[in-house]
Every structure is written in C-alpha cells, then in structure tokens.
Amino acid sequence: MSARGPRYEAQQKGEKHYMVDTPCKRGHFAPRVTATGTCTECRRILEASRYHAHPEKTKQRVKAKYTKNAETLRQKRRDWYYQNIEAARAEAIPRSREWRKNNPGHRNALSRSYMLTKIKRTPAWANNKAIVEFYKACPEGHHVDHIVPLRGKKVSGLHVAYNLQYLPAAENLRKTNRYEVV
C-alpha cells in the first residue's frame, strides 16, 4: 500500500480512479489508476502506440479477453442499464423523436415492412376477430407480443391468436426478436 494519501483512500473505498494535485512524470493532470498509480492519459497513449505497432495482435487479444469474460461483461452492461434505465430513456426518447421527424421515408418503409411481414405470416385459417379482440383487450402499460417472433433469427412464428401474449412494455422492448424457451 502507498502512504496514506489519495491513492490509499481510493483503495479503501474500492474506487478505480483517484486524483492528485501534482502532474505525472509526463506532465498530465489526469486521474490515476488506483491499482497501479499510473496516469490514465499516459495509459491511453501507451495503449494507442501498442495498437498502432501491432493492430492484428491487439484485436486478437481484445477478442480473446471478451470471449473469456463475455457473460460477466454482458451482466455488467445489464446491471448498468437497470441502474440507469430512467436516464437512458430520458435521453433516448427525444433522440428517437428527432430521428423519426428527420427520416419520415425510412420510418414509413420500416413500418410497411413490418405490416407486410404480419400479412405474410397470417395463415388463411387464422381467426382475425380473435386477433383484433386480443389487441383491443391489451392492458395499459403492456404490449402485445408474439411468443414466437414473426422475424426471428432461428425460428419464425405465425400471426395467430395463440401466438400472442401481453408483456410489460419494457420487457417486450428488451425481448426484441428473441424466442426464449422457458
């Protein structure tokens, strides 16, 4: 351990970075890495020089690291998202509205594509009245979801009444086109 200073305090708190009043040996006033005491700016420069010296080797190393820790990294992203979901939505909604306003042709094409998929995936024997009633009875704050998605990667379902379910909006948006076997 270092002397009782900012690094020691950061280690005790479990923080990844800390600040000091003096520059590093290369003159940067940047946060330092608690584990090693190195300047984050110096570390960034070193990593960039390593990458430019051996880009393929670096890509392989990063890919191997991700593959080894894929589930842990996915879980960290999920945890961050659920902790920051309100801020993420508050940021995404205006951005989404702006995109829709600026890209009406693209938006219409996407909507039309989904409608055509629904039409193609609705068999002649489907009970259209039951489907319409199912949509009308959807509770507030829920979406009508296809249990087996219409455009899944591995399997595609039909647009029929028994392939529909009610899901809370957030859960349905998280599910996207995945078919989750329970």
The reported pLDDT for the residue numbered 182 is 65
pLDDT above 90: percentage of residues in the chain: 74
Interhelix angle 85-102/70-83, nearest 10 degrees? 90
What is the Cα–Cα distance from 178 to 146, expressed in whole angstroms? 10
39-92 residue pLDDT tens: 999 999 999 998 999 999 999 999 999 999 999 999 999 898 888 888 888 888
pLDDT score of 2 more than 60: no
Do residues 147 and 165 make contact, with C-beta atoms less than 8 angstroms apart? yes
The pTM score is 0.52
Binning pLDDT at 50, 70 and 90, where does residue 100 land?
A: very high
Do residues 165 and 141 make contact, with C-beta atoms less than 8 angstroms apart? no
Q: Where in the chain are the domains?
A: 6-68, 123-175
| Mean pLDDT over each residue of the chain, to the nearest integer | 91
Within a 10 A sphere around the Cβ of 138, how many other Cβ atoms? 14
pLDDT score of 1 more than 50: no
Binning pLDDT at 50, 70 and 90, where does residue 3 land?
A: low
22-34 residue pLDDT tens: 999 999 999 999 9
Characterize the bridge pairing of strands 142-146 and 164-168: antiparallel
More confident site: 155 or 159: 159
121-156 residue pLDDT tens: 999 999 999 999 999 999 999 999 999 999 888 888
DSSP per position, 130-148:
HHHHHHHTPPTTEEEEESS
Do residues 45 and 39 make contact, with C-beta atoms less than 8 angstroms apart? no
The reported pLDDT for the residue numbered 107 is 95
3-state secondary structure (DSSP) of residue 143? strand
